[in-house]
Amino acid sequence: MKKLIFILSIAALVSCNSGSNTGTNNSVEAQTLDQEDMQTKKSFYDFTVKDIDGKEVDLSQYKGQKVLVVNVASKCGYTPQYEDLQKLNEEYGDKIAILGFPANNFGGQEPGSNEEIKKFCTGNYGVTFPMFEKVSVKGVDKHPLYRWLSDKSQNGWNDQEPTWNFCKYYIDENGELKHFFQSAVNPMDEEIIKLIES
């Protein structure tokens, strides 16, 4: 009888261990799949975002173009840069796409709705470059595009997230992030113009 109980105990133990190993394997497989998914998502063109009117925009439409991604705000000391962004768009729009992403992460300086932001930009600065819906550019709710822009495990080299409104990310014709510019760098700065003309 004791021998039978011993054998049954061993069988139960082996069964439990094999079950837990299967769970571990599944967990490892899931982690591997997540890592593979992140590793394949390295291009700017892999993202879809919503424009300021709520329409889906596949960023792959910018393949072959240089792009400047800017987090913008309506009540910031740098807000007049809208004028320079529009000037850049008018003078170099055939060579670079300027994409504006309103964000309220810094000093609550973009409190408006998408509709209010659109009205402000077009009414005050005549903005004609693409504007997108208000997003978060830092913190736990950071938009996936901004996660890619500010995480070197995804973009290849840069960990710098926006430090204030009107930070600028330059993406080349191959969808690769190449430069980060702080807010104080004017859109018409010589370094940006050189990148556009190169």
Task: Give the H or E element holding residue 89.
Answer: helix 81-92
The residue annotated as part of the active site, out of 16, 76, 121, 167, is 76
Whole-angstrom distance, CA of residue 171 vs CA of residue 158: 12
Whole-angstrom distance, CA of residue 151 vs CA of residue 161: 8
Placement of tokens 């139960």 in the chain: 12
Would residue 108 be called left, alpha or beta, if left means φ above 0 and alpha means ψ between -120 and 50 degrees?
A: left
Are 70 and 182 in contact by the 8 Å Cβ rule? The answer is no
Are 104 and 98 in contact by the 8 Å Cβ rule? The answer is no
Are 196 and 96 in contact by the 8 Å Cβ rule? The answer is yes
**Secondary structure letter of residue 45 according to DSSP:** G
Buried-state track 43-78, b at ≥16 Cβ within 10 A, e below 16:
bbebbebeebeeeebebeebeeebbbbbbbbbebeb
16 tagged catalytic: no
Give the residue numbers annotated as catalytic, written as ranges.
76
